[in-house]
Each structure stands twice: as C-alpha cells, then as structure tokens.
Structure 1
C-alpha cells in the first residue's frame, strides 16, 4: 500500500498537471480567433504529454475495483456457463475437481467408525481394504462400546492410519424432557435409551475428530461416517463426494433418511453428526415422536443442509431373524453375494432363496418410504432370514469375499490371547489418541485362552 505521508512518492505516482510557460493573465481580455486556436493547440499537446507520462500500473490499479464491480453484477456463480473475468475460471468445474480429489491422494478424510463389533471378522477386513487402504490420507476414528466382541477390533492393527480410538463401557444416559418429546421408543430395540446410546456414539466421534484437528492444526476435507457392522463390496467413488451436500444411500429410510452411512464435507458433517445436541432445536421447531431416521432428516432440514441420495456399495450384516418373504412393512435381508450396490440394506451370508424373476414381486410390495431398498438391475438376491444362519455360512462368505478377506476371518477365528494382546499393542502404537480398557481385559472378555 502507499503511504499518505510520503509526498515524493505521491508526486511520482500522480504528477501535477501545471502550465509552466503560459501566463493566462498576459493573454489580454480579448483573444482573436487565431490566438484562441493557438491556446487550444497548446492545451491539447500539454494534456496528451501528461497523460502519456502517467504510470500505467496506476491505471491497472484503478481497473481492478471496477472489474470487481462488474463481477458482482453478474449472475450467480452456480451458472455452468459463467466465465470469470480473472482467467476463464469455471466454479462448477472447481467443485468437480475438488470432488475428484477425494478419489486420489489430495483430500484429508476422517473415517468415523461406530457401533458394536458383533460380526467384525466379516466386516472389518472389508473396511480396511476398501475404505482405509483405498484413501492414503484417510484417518480412522473408532468409537465403540465395550462388549464380548471388542477383541475383534484388534483386526484394525492392519489399518494404515489411526487417529483416535475410544472403547468404553456404556452407562445409562439420562433422558431430558426435550428428548422424550422429540423421540419415540417405537421400533427401537432398546427404546429411547437405545437411540440416545447410538446418537452418543455418532456425536462422540465428531468430538474426537475436532480434538484431533485442534491438536494438529488442520481441518478435514471430508468425513465418512459408517458402522462397524457394515460389509463393503467395493470402494467409494468421486461422485459420492459432493461439496455442500450430505450424501446418504436411498432406501431403508423408515419415514426419514437412511442414517447407516453419511458422506459430507466438514461443515455438512458437523450438522449430520450432531445427533444429540440438535434435539433441543428439533423440539423448538415442534417435532415429536421421531425415530432415528426421521430425526436425522429433521436435523438436516432445520439446519438447511441439502442432502442427496446415492447408491453405496455396503450392507449391514445382521444376526436378527425376519419373516420371509417380507410384507408391506417387512425387512428384506440381502445375500452378501448380491451384485449390489446394497446401500446399507440388512444382509447375511446365505444361499439366496430368491433371485432373478423372483425378486421384483417381493420387493415391489414393500413400502418405499419404510424398509424398501433399490433392487433395479438385478442388484439384490434375497435370503430366507426367518431362522439362524445356515451351517455353511463361512464357506459362502469366503467364496464371495475372496482369499484376502477370508484369510483375515480365519486368522481371527484362531486368535489366541497372546496374539490379541500383540495386535492391540501394535494398534495402540499407531493411534494418536487411545482411550480403552486394558487390552488384557478386552481379549479375555471374548476369547478362551489357547495357552
């Protein structure tokens, strides 16, 4: 910037327009036409000379604010044909480039993994291979309740980067008046308390992410929030990373939005993951008797966060039993061998009971705003899930998952307490933050000693 106190610099930038050799008073009171023509010629030459002496850099400085005014008067930058006056910059292409970066090495991605580890021998290796290893700059944030399956989390020693781990003993969460009004115990296996425990897992993961950002002085570009019991058949794609939009899968919406996975930039994810702290605002807005999916949709809507649905290549492995074939409000259970994408539908390893032409009549009778899932293009094969898993489920899974994931499952089946302790030790060394019971407690809680 230019200093006002420097007269020499100001004189250099803006030279004074003075007439040195002409005394206007000496011209007399009456000028004839010839004298007038001479004066006109003199002033013209003098003005032209002074303008040519101006520093053209000053003219550029004057043009800059004028350019900004012109830019501000143009239509919204969301127009696909908009070309900036500063070098043909297409803003929509910039957003697309940012989304493409999520498929490579540029974007920082926080992977928030929550829930119980009941079938982690099946789901964990798929998460490592198709999410954590697929994105070199992704960091794992693990937030899980302690139970007899927690020893299975030692599989995550194979994760490339671990930012934070919190494995805790669940305690009762006191229910507030606003939570009692906004939430419903209906269709929740553990009532409102079950919803609060789940919401606490999700929002607790956001707390862990924020702490890691503060400690390391950066902000994640994206947060992928998913479940410990999710089996991934493929990796995410650039089209799933959309700036300013929160991406969820279609189907399994139960009157709201599918909340089994979500992908968004940091700002949209803050809203999506604030499952507990936004309940008072839902109460103020007049919402009441909401299940998890409806509460999730309401919090995005009240906070004006746009959302989109994309089919995603994962399913939730379940031990629960469901009537077959499912009725109007029933729950379809997909075979893990389904071509997919299954978008978070319930699944298990099974010999499919319904494939091909059998599928449309069954799926078309489901309520599209409840448990329905997308079955177009023969993407789903259905299990008869009214009973226990079939005896050959391990062979079915190994054939579908491939050698690498099958080997990880078999390794966990043979895991000894000593190996479990070593795996947790290696996992802890990778983690920037570790809050968990002693490894010996987690290992012995679910394993018989092999020594």
Structure 2
C-alpha cells in the first residue's frame, strides 16, 4: 500500500481501472476512504523527524532503536552533511588503560568526521602520561588535565543523589559530574572565543574501546542518543550523541541538580539522575546499540547474579553498547550465554546478548596472564603497536611528545609534560 501511495501515477491507474469495472456511484463511495488514507500517510511523513535523513526507525520491545538509511545515496548525503558540520568530541575520565582504548577512539570516533574537534578533561594521576597518544588526533581544541580536589557537598546534592553502589560515594558522583560538565564548559569557552556554535557534541569516555566506527545514523536532530543496557534504573550514561541544544542539557550534570531537587527527585544514582535531567527538561532520547565497551580492571562475581555485572570479552562480536569488558579467554560462549544473561535484571546491568553477540569473561580475579596477546590478536596490528609503544616508553620521549601535543592544541591547561611523565614513568609500576 505504501508503495502505491508514494506513486501518484499508480493511484490514477487504479482509479481508471475501477472506473471501468464499477459504475460511477460505487467509485464515488470508494474515493473518500482512499483520500483519507492518502491524507494520513502524508501527515505521518511530514511529522517524522527522521524523514529528511532518508532513514527508517524501528523499535523493539526493549525500546532500542535501529536506524537504517533508505538507500546509499541518502547515507552519502548525510555523511557529507556531517562532514560540513562542526562536531565537538568530549573525552572525559582517567587514563587507566588508555594504551588499549585511546587508539581505537582516535580511529573510530575522532578521525571519522572531517570537521571534528577534540576536548579532553582528565584528572592528573600516574596514568595521565598515556594521553600523549592523542597527539595523532587531527584537531585538538582543548586539553585540561587537573589535580583533583574534594568537592563541597550541598544539601540539594545530598537529597537528590545516593551514595549506594557508588565506589566513592556521593563524592565520586560529583567528581564524575564535574568531569562531564567541565568538558561542556571548555566547549562553550572555545565557541565564544571563535564566534561559532557546534552542530553536534559526542561525549565519550577515556576508557571506552571502540570495535568499529561511530556511524552517521547515530546523529538524530532534536534527540539525544544513548546506548541501551547498563541502565541501573535510569539511562546508560557512558556515551551520548546529540545536537548542541540537547547536549547542553545532557552534559549539565552538576548545574541541573537544583532543578532535580525542585522537581522532587530523591536518592538518584548517576544513571537515574541522567534520565531525570532529560525528562524534566523535555529532551527526547533514543537508545541505539553502539560498538564500544568500557575496559575495566574491577573484579565482579562470575557467573553474575540477578543484579550482577557481566564482563564481556573484548573479542565479542557486539555491539556491546558500553558494557564492561576486558581482554580475556572467554569463559562463557555459545549455549552458555543465554542461561547466564537471561537471569540479569533488564533495568540494571543487562546488555544485549542475542545472536551470539557477546562472550563472557570470568572477571572475579585479576586479568589473566598473557592478556596482552589476547588484546593484540583482537585489536589488530595498529592498536597492538600503540600498546607496545606505551609499554616501552622512556621519560625523555614522553616529555617530547607532550610538548608536540601541546603545540598543536588550541587551549592547553595542564601541568608540565615533565611532571605528567615523571609521575607515571618514575613513580609507579606500568600497567
């Protein structure tokens, strides 16, 4: 029916055929319902926010969306439009395993779109020297590496937020929110200095490993895009893609807390606070599967319980949508996966496991001996070479590369390269 309605000549042909087969009065009776169907169809097309992209949107019972372009021409047109758009990539968090994740972020996010700028907001610690891998990024607009300080806890924050399930309590949530909103501040300052506004903001984490590039279907005007799963009673906050207006709301993690307090929200974790930010400000959101996972050193019970946390093998086919992961020899594959994953609470740490898309690690202990070979095999030669370079990095080379990175960065706010490199290469064991 839709094919017929899209083609007026076919409608005319049908009418002529009916006119030859039916008397005039029967045709008159048939025309009103036909015209009504045509009217409803064109109204639905005009109200579809995705129609100008030439995409179709499908939802499943899990509210996860899958967007596919109507044809290759529409996809190319959308990519060209994105390449003309100004895109800010906001990278936040500590550089714990950045030798594994950083090169994938550069290849699969930063360098995918021609007109994108990188903003880095990261705490100074003994792993921060690994951020020098970003030197190869095409455009670095801002880098802030700061010394973490305890943050004051206000009465509204204590009412709205909960310390439950946060490894560092409410202070940990505030530090994380400060990382995210601080990156937004960097972006806004850069815009003001250069008199323009970004079209899109991608907010992702330093510890995210990307298996394939971030595709153009993930840029939906007027909607904020997040991964499904790992929602912990709210929305997965490990990555977000949105236009400028939706991103400002999504990234205002600290300054939105008084509004959440006024709206009566109480005892929220990071994910539920994130969802409340969007809903209280009437920002629509979509969940779509995304090809990245969060590399973790934390240990989790295996097999996971109802509210446990599954840890995916880095070799999983995915997309993993921000699930916890590590390089491992999988302990659970194939027929083992369904009974293990199906007991997980759908609104907590669950991640999509259908179609053999996930393999599980036994993560109740430290990373296995020989994990390096596992990673190199999965990640490929280029990413393996970056890992090995950080493993063998010398102090003088580290300092030199930080100087080169600083010279290509528009705004640099960080301790000296000598201090960053010495903290990591002289005073702590490598990892």
Give the TM-score range, shorter chain. 0.7 to 0.9
Equivalent residue for 2:342, pick from 364, 374, 382:
364
**Superposed counterparts of 1:50-129, under 5 Å:** 79-82=43-46, 93-96=51-54, 100-101=78-79, 105-129=83-107
1:401 aligns to what? 379
Name the structure 1 match of 2:299.
321
TM (normalized to structure 2)? 0.83
Shift of 1:191: 0.3
Distance 1:163 1:77, change over 3 A: farther
Question: Do the aligned partners of residues 263 and 77 (structure 1) sit closer, same or farther apart at CA in structure 2, a change above 3 Å counting?
Answer: farther
Task: Quote the residue 2:16 is aligned against.
Answer: none
Matched, 1:289 2:267: yes
Q: Does 1:268 align with 2:226?
A: no
Q: Which runs of 4+ in 1 moved over 6 A?
A: 75-78
Quote how far apart the aligned CAs of 1:361 are.
Answer: 0.5
Shift of 1:413: 0.7
Question: Is 1:146 matched up with 2:116?
Answer: no
Kept after mapping to 2: 8 A contact 1:103/1:237 = no
CA contact (8 A) 2:142 2:186 kept: yes
| Aligned counterparts of 2:191 and 2:241: Cα–Cα separation in 1 | 18
Partner of 2:413: 435
Partner Cα separation in structure 2 for residue 245 and residue 225 of structure 1: 14
Question: How far apart, CA to CA, are the structure 1 residues paired with 2:277 and 2:403?
Answer: 39
Q: Compared with structure 1, are the counterparts of its residues 299 and 352 closer, same or farther at alpha carbon in structure 2 (3 Å cutoff)?
A: same
Q: Answer yes or no: is the 8 Å Cα contact 1:77–1:91 preserved in 2.
A: no
Q: Rg larger in 1 or in 2?
A: 1
The answer to whether 1:216 aligns with 2:194 is yes
Question: Which of 347, 350, 363 is the matching residue for 2:325?
Answer: 347
Give secondary structure in 1 for the equivalent of 2:309. coil
- Consecutive unaligned residues of structure 1, counting only runs of 5 or more, are 1-74, 84-89
Contact 1:78-1:91 at 8 Å conserved across structures = no
CA RMSD of aligned residues (A): 2.0
Distance 1:305 1:78, change over 3 A: farther
Is the CA contact (8 Å cut-off) linking 1:251 and 1:369 kept in structure 2? yes
Shift of 1:167: 0.2
Contact 2:225 2:287 in 1 (8 A): yes
Q: After superposition, give the CA deviation of every residue in 1:347-398 in whole Å (9 maximum; x if it has no partner).
A: 0000000011110100000000000001111110000000010111000000
Aligned counterpart, 1:424:
402
1:338 equivalent in alignment to 2:296: no
Shift of 1:104: 5.1
CA distance in 2, matches of 1:103, 1:387: 47
Decide which of 142, 145, 150 is 1:164's aligned counterpart.
142
Q: Deviations over 1:49-85 (max 9, x none)?
A: xxxxxxxxxxxxxxxxxxxxxxxxxx999945449xx
Name the CA distance, whole Å, in 2 between partners of 1:105 and 1:381.
Answer: 35
C-alpha deviation, 1:448, in angstroms: 3.3
Deviation at 1:153, TM superposition (A): 0.5
SS in 2 for 1:196: helix
Please state whether the residue corresponding to 2:255 is helix, strand or coil.
coil
CA distance in 1, matches of 2:162, 2:284: 25
Structure 2 residue runs of 5 or longer lacking an equivalent are: 1-38, 55-73
**Distance in 1 (alpha carbons) for counterparts of 2:171 and 2:381:** 40
The change in CA–CA distance for 1:78 and 1:152 in structure 2 (over 3 A counts) is: farther
Partner-residue secondary structure (3-state), 2:83: coil
Aligned to 1:15: none
How many angstroms does 1:103 deviate by? 7.5
* Counterparts in 2 of 1:148 and 1:235: CA distance versus 1, 3 Å: same
Residue of 277, 286, 297 corresponding to 1:308: 286
Alignment partner, residue 18 of structure 2 = none
Is the CA contact 2:226–2:237 (under 8 Å) kept in the aligned structure 1?
A: yes
Q: 2:235 aligns with which of 252, 257, 267?
A: 257
Aligned residues: 369
The 1:385/1:216 distance shift into structure 2, 3 A limit, reads same
Quick check: 1:380 aligned with 2:338? Answer: no
